[in-house]
Chains A and B, each alone.
Chain A
């Protein structure tokens, strides 16, 4: 039996999305109805689920689609830019920030970052300043996932409906693909809350890791047209142009740019969705597995993608002009070109898994921030019942999904470039969280100065880069994140030194005598 091209992939993607919906609805059966259960899974997450949900949340379209596309454009140096540096820096953030924040969260009942900062810095209005900045930085991150999901579905289903969708060669148009993915994620986040999200993340992380490795071996075994995989590997790598094998001469890979890229992964220290995941841990020691395995998991996902992206730049692969022009379409194209329809469908499901495992946490987190830090905080804790709080969180999640989807229809940017800008903004806020945990001298005014400086510099550089339109934009040959980080650190330290410290009571709360 033969189908139209793209139909098999469409059926597999549909079954995968249906499975996720089922998982989300099933997790709803374990939902206790309390806001603590909806937002933090009642602090019940063990080491394996914590590792998988943190890793799945951190790896997005950026990891699979973005890394392949960027390697195609810039060469294999991309791995060093973000993957190996993230292995060092992410685990460091889990170790020095995550565990400590978890302990404060458990002791004092925090759900969001803003609650912690308000308490630590004795400042109610700091939350007002941080809310739009955190949400504003999460939205481009969400956009990355929503846009990429539409792109991969369109590429994978090409030929399925030639009479309906002529503009996309018969593929399901990006706007429909994105809409369906948003709908599925919204449904399981809506019903399952944090527990559904953690389960879905774990399931999806396993799916995309396994299928990522399978993709690599399938492409590797067929790319050179030889019988032996070893011969194909050699042929494929020998075909990589020299400028994709080395960093010399590449404007994206100057020494300073490469070195300052290391600041970008500091963003995980300030990701609000990761903060929320940290708080789901049942106990501190549950972090151990995530700290150790995270760099290795990054390697398993990134190394094959980067190599495949470089192969795509070689002479063995002939790329149609539209694919060449759209870095995000490289991986879906290679999958379609070198694997059969069935495997191709599974692999696209794997790519969607990576995307959705980040989208869910981000949607849930934005809903949680709005509910806790704005509605409940200013409305009064006793004004709403626990049930009402869950309803408000759910309504805001629907709103944020709708806004993100609407924005995704407006413009297109390279996934990798947009992601780096988003991460850079969070990285610029890193000094604040570090100082809040380890420096008694941090003051409320110092925190304001740091946040405002970081945000001001981010806006200025983002504007200068043509709103992420220029992927090679730099500041004195450095990544913009470097001056942003320097500026926010200087503002934090200098202003803190000359302004009044928090009360002794607060310092005792966060720096008890036995810690010093």
Chain B
């Protein structure tokens, strides 16, 4: 899953370049400039990618520190 998530990050960075819309003045749904609409989709894609990251590749070893802290707190 690590490779999937980091590949998605790289894909997002490439898609973000968006030179294919450089001279596109169309309005999506009649009011959202396509340049803006496309980049809003990139934001949504970023949210989804980072959701996958925290779900599947979260650094679990840090739980050790949390447990240690909790133990110290109890003492």
Contact = CB atoms under 8 A, between A and B. Distances in A.
Interface string A379-398: 00000000000000000000
Interface string A85-110: 10110011001000110010011000
A246 B24 contact: yes
Interface stretch (A50-58, A74-82, A169-177, A399-407): A74-82
Contacts of B54: 95, 288, 291-292
B12 to A, nearest CB: 5
Interface in B19-42: 19, 22-25, 27, 30-33, 35-36, 38-40, 42
B22 A80 contact: no
A163 B63 CA distance: 64
Interface residues of A, number: 52
A234 B36 CA distance: 15
Contacts of B59: 99-100, 284
A234 B27 CA distance: 9
Nearest to A240: B33
5 contacts: A84-B46, A237-B32, A283-B69, A293-B47, A303-B40
A316 interface: no
Contacts of A238: 27
A240 B35 CA distance: 13
A92 to B, nearest CB: 7
B1 interface: no
Contacts of A209: none
Given A237-B32, A255-B19, A245 B66 contact: no
Given A79-B40, A95-B50, A292-B50, A84 B33 contact: no
B58 interface: yes
Interface of A: 43, 75-77, 79-80, 83-85, 87-88, 91-92, 95, 99-100, 103, 106-107, 233-234, 236-238, 240, 242, 245-248, 255, 258-259, 262, 283-285, 288, 291-296, 298-299, 303, 306-307, 310, 514-515
Report the 8 A-B pairs with minimum CB-CB distance, sorted nearest first.
A295-B46, A284-B62, A299-B43, A248-B23, A87-B46, A233-B31, A237-B31, A80-B39
Q: Which of A91, A238, A294, A306 has the largest number of chain B CB atoms within 10 A?
A: A91
B36 A236 contact: no
B22 A246 contact: yes
Contacts of B35: 75-77, 79-80, 245-247
Nearest to B27: A237
- On chain B, which size bracket covers the interface? 35 or more
A92 B57 CA distance: 13
A284 B63 contact: yes
Contacts of B23: 246-248
Nearest to A241: B25
Contacts of B44: 295-296, 299
A43 B51 CA distance: 24
A514 B61 contact: yes
Contacts of B17: 255, 258-259
A88 B25 contact: no
Given A87-B42, A88-B13, A288-B58, A106 B65 contact: yes
B2 interface: no
Contact of A103 (B13, B32, B58, B65): B65
A76 B33 contact: yes
A137 B35 CA distance: 32
A103 B12 contact: no
Q: Which of B23, B30, B32, B33 has the most CB of A within 10 A?
A: B33
Contacts of A307: 32-33, 36
A107 B42 CA distance: 36
A79 B39 contact: yes
Nearest to A250: B22
Contacts of A246: 22-25, 35
A84 B42 contact: yes
